């Protein structure tokens, strides 16, 4: 108790301290609390004021909504009234124009329907025709046509008496095997009476005959004797029908047959004709070469048909099989595929329709200008004209190049070889010659062998630019094509040219180049396992080119009077003209134009080596004036180049040598000529005459080109009749020479 009373003062002290502390805190926080409550009061007052204003706005908004609703109702009524008036107006307009418009629509619809029906009748796709043939076959196969099928059998037995015959291969088999197997296929088993008739026809003593049932034939009979097939079945007729219509669709619109007419024509043959053909099968295939078994009676060079229209040419004849070169893409061909004989040597289309076109080695257009409309075909291999049918070469074929027309003239019907290394201007000479034939009634054929497609396209574009495609045919066998296409391309071009030659026209054909053709033939021969000879070429490589170039000739008047001039091109290696192929072609042709690499690089273009170039026709293929002025030109140039080679080793030369070198340098400059700038024969005679007479001796070499151009212009302007006199073919008489000299002397005064 005593302790309690002792602690009271301490308790009172603590209470007083707490009261003092609390009072101090209240004093300090009073203003803060007052401000807080005052702010809250102000915020509540503002909220109450905003609520009052919102209430007033809501009352006004309701009034605006009511006003807008009333306005929209009025606008709606106005629009509806206007629409009703417009509908009434449109109804009256339609009612007034409806009858005429309806009549026009009906007429247009009827016209469109008629056009559509006409187009459907005149055009039918190959796919659609094949579908029709397939559906027809199914109907005939499932239907009941016993009488018709029996009639087909009877008709076959009746016709086979006249058609069946033993081919040479059949006779060989009968001699060796004493029998020949014949298989007869039919949609249904033949009766004993029918088999008896057939066996009586086919001499039962040495022939074994049996009947096989094949429902796919639909109706009729198919008989196979050795490799020969006698087909009188409905299935085969339907297949022929689809093929004929497919061929028909490739023709122009005017030539397309009416489909109904086509079907009638084909079906009319179903019960009348037996198709006779021979078949074999592919044994091996590779690198564009295949071996075909059967076809024992096939001819060398005959065209064979493979699946999907691929063509092949028979190249090797052996006892067990034949070697065939494939002319086109062959990736779809497989071993065991059927191969059919055509009975025709490989041929190409010929005629006027090919002029101006670019075709492949098979004569198919590759220039994107549509099909070639021609009904004429010619075998790519044909005999050369006989000696009796030929006439000597005497009519010049002007190339437009001074160096050629003056030094190595070419006549119509001649074979002149252009030979030289790569990039020495061989093709340039050929193209200039084609361009120079414009207006001379000469058909030109350019055969490109083994070149790049871009190169061939540039050649065609260049010919088109100068208007030469109007009388030119381009046969293209580019480097990406199989070797057989490169092999047959020159023969295809020759066949196209022969068509015009035998019609009495003049033809110029250029083979660019035969070196690549020989390489392609070597590839084919090695693949066919023929024994290689010199430089791995086969032994008949000489015959390859001789039988081609011998077809160029000038025909006698009795044979038609036409001509075909051949300019084959051969590429040499390092100027070696003694290699195998160059020597072969040199011995076949009537001369050669040798282009030298050193001359080409020294600026002499065309780079003709005068010493190695020759024309075996000579002056017979020159007009009189050219022969007159160019008579000593070859000798002078040969002498100049001989002296020039020695003069470079010494400087002490006599006056005669210096004069020869001086004149020769200017004559060489005169003979230079730009590409795609052929000259007329009259202009060539003028400039060569001026140089020969020494009128260019005092002209600087740099001015020779200008001298040439200006002297030709001056003479043609002041002596215009000279042009026709030179082209007349006769030599220049004394008066003409004197007048020409006087004209040139007058020109020199102003030059």
> How far apart (Å, rounded) are the C-alpha atoms in residues 314 and 278?
14
Q: What is the pLDDT of residue 76?
A: 62
> How far apart (Å, rounded) are the C-alpha atoms in residues 660 and 643?
8
> How far apart (Å, rounded) are the C-alpha atoms in residues 665 and 567?
29
> How far apart (Å, rounded) are the C-alpha atoms in residues 699 and 707?
8
Phi, psi for 42 (deg, rounded to 5): -65, -40
The angle at the Cα of 671, spanning 668 to 676, to the nearest 5 degrees, equals: 140
Q: Is 619 helix (H, G, I), strand (E, B) or coil?
A: helix
- Which residues have C-beta within 8 Å of that of residue 702, sequence separation ≥ 6? none
Query: Maximum CA pair distance of the chain?
Result: 180
Q: What is the pLDDT of residue 254?
A: 40
What residues act catalytically? 616
Q: What is the pLDDT of residue 116?
A: 47
> How far apart (Å, rounded) are the C-alpha atoms in residues 281 and 288?
16
CA torsion sign for 304, 306, 308, 310 is negative
CA torsion sign for 176, 180, 181, 182 is positive
Q: What is the pLDDT of residue 94?
A: 43
8 A C-beta contact, residue 410 and residue 396: yes
Beta bridge mates, 55: none
Q: How far is C-alpha 689 from the geometric centre of its chain's CA atoms? A: 45
Q: What is the mean pLDDT of each run of 10 residues along the chain (751 residues)?
A: 61 64 60 60 65 62 66 67 58 51 55 50 50 59 59 76 70 66 78 77 57 76 77 76 58 46 55 74 91 89 91 91 91 92 92 96 92 92 94 94 94 96 95 96 97 95 96 96 94 97 97 95 94 93 96 95 97 93 96 94 91 88 90 84 74 79 90 93 93 90 92 92 86 90 91 81
Tokens of 566: 């051949």
Q: What is the pLDDT of residue 252?
A: 41
Q: What is the pLDDT of residue 541?
A: 95
> How far apart (Å, rounded) are the C-alpha atoms in residues 743 and 745?
5
Q: What is the DSSP string of 318-336?
A: -SSEEEEEEES--TT--TT
> How far apart (Å, rounded) are the C-alpha atoms in residues 199 and 182?
10
């Amino acid at each position: 108790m005593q302790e309690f009373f002792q602690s009271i003062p301490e308790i009172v002290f603590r209470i007083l301290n707490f009261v003092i502390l609390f009072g101090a805190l209240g004093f300090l926080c009073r203003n803060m609390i007052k401000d807080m409550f005052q702010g809250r009061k102000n915020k509540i007052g503002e909220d109450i004021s905003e609520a009052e204003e919102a209430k007033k706005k809501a009352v006004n908004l309701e009034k605006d909504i009511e006003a807008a609703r009333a306005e929209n109702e009025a606008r709606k009524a106005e629009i509806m009234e206007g629409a009703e008036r417009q509908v009434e107006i449109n109804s009256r307009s339609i009612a007034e124009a409806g009858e005429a418009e309806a009549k026009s629509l009906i007429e247009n619809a009827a016209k469109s329907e008629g056009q559509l029906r006409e187009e459907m009748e005149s055009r039918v796709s190959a796919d659609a025709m094949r579908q029709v043939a397939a559906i027809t076959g199914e109907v005939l196969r499932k239907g009941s046509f016993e009488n018709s099928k029996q009639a087909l059998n009877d008709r076959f037995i009746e016709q086979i008496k006249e058609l069946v015959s033993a081919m040479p291969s059949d006779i060989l088999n009968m001699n060796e095997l004493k029998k020949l197997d014949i298989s007869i296929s039919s949609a249904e088993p033949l009766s004993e009476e029918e088999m008896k008739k057939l066996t009586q026809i086919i001499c039962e003593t040495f022939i074994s005959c049996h009947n096989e049932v094949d429902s796919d034939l639909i109706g009729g009979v198919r008989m196979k004797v050795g490799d020969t097939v006698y087909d009188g079945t409905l299935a085969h007729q339907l297949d022929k029908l689809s093929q004929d219509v497919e061929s028909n669709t490739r023709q122009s619109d005017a030539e397309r047959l009416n489909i109904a007419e086509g079907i009638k024509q084909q079906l009319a043959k179903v019960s009348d004709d037996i198709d006779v053909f021979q078949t074999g099968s592919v044994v091996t295939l590779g690198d564009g070469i295949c071996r075909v078994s059967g076809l024992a009676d096939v001819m060398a060079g005959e065209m064979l048909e493979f699946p999907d229209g691929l063509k092949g040419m028979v190249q090797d004849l052996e006892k067990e099989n034949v070697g065939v070169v494939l002319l086109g893409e062959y990736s779809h061909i497989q071993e065991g595929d059927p191969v059919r004989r055509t009975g025709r040597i490989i041929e190409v289309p010929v005629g006027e329709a090919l002029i101006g076109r670019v075709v492949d080695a098979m004569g198919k257009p590759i220039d994107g200008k549509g099909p070639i409309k021609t009904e004429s075909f010619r075998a790519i291999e044909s005999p050369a004209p006989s000696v009796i049918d030929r006439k000597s070469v005497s009519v010049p074929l002007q190339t437009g190049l001074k160096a050629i027309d003056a030094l190595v003239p070419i006549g119509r019907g001649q074979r002149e070889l252009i030979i030289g290394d790569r990039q020495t201007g061989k093709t340039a000479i050929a193209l200039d010659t084609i361009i120079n034939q414009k207006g001379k009634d000469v058909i030109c054929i350019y055969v490109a062998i083994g070149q790049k497609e871009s190169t061939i396209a540039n050649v065609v574009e260049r010919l088109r630019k100068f208007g030469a495609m109007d009388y030119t045919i381009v046969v293209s066998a580019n480097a990406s094509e199989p070797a057989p296409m490169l092999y047959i391309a020159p023969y295809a071009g020759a066949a196209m040219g022969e068509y015009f030659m035998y019609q009495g026209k003049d033809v110029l054909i250029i083979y660019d180049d035969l070196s690549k053709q020989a390489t392609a033939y070597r590839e084919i021969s090695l693949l066919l396992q023929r024994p290689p000879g010199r430089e791995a070429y086969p032994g008949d490589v000489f015959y390859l080119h001789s039988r081609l170039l011998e077809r160029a000739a000038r025909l006698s008047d009795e044979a038609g009077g036409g001509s075909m001039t051949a300019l084959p091109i051969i590429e040499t290696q390092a100027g070696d003209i003694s290699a195998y192929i160059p020597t072969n072609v040199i011995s076949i042709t009537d001369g050669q134009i040798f282009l030298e690499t050193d001359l080409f690089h020294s600026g002499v273009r065309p780079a003709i080596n005068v010493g190695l170039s020759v024309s075996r026709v000579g002056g017979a293929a020159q007009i009189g004036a050219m022969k007159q002025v160019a008579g000593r030109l070859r000798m002078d140039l040969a002498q100049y180049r001989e002296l020039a080679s020695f003069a470079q080793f010494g400087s002490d030369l006599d006056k005669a040598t210096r004069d020869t070198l001086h004149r020769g340098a200017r004559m060489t400059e005169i003979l230079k000529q730009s590409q795609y700038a052929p000259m007329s024969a009259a202009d060539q005679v003028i400039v060569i005459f001026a140089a020969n007479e020494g009128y260019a001796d005092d002209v600087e070499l740099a001015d020779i080109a200008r001298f040439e151009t200006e002297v030709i212009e001056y003479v043609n302007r002041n002596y215009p009749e000279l042009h026709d006199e030179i082209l007349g073919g006769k030599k220049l008489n004394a008066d003409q020479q004197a007048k020409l000299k006087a004209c040139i002397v007058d020109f020199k005064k102003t030059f």
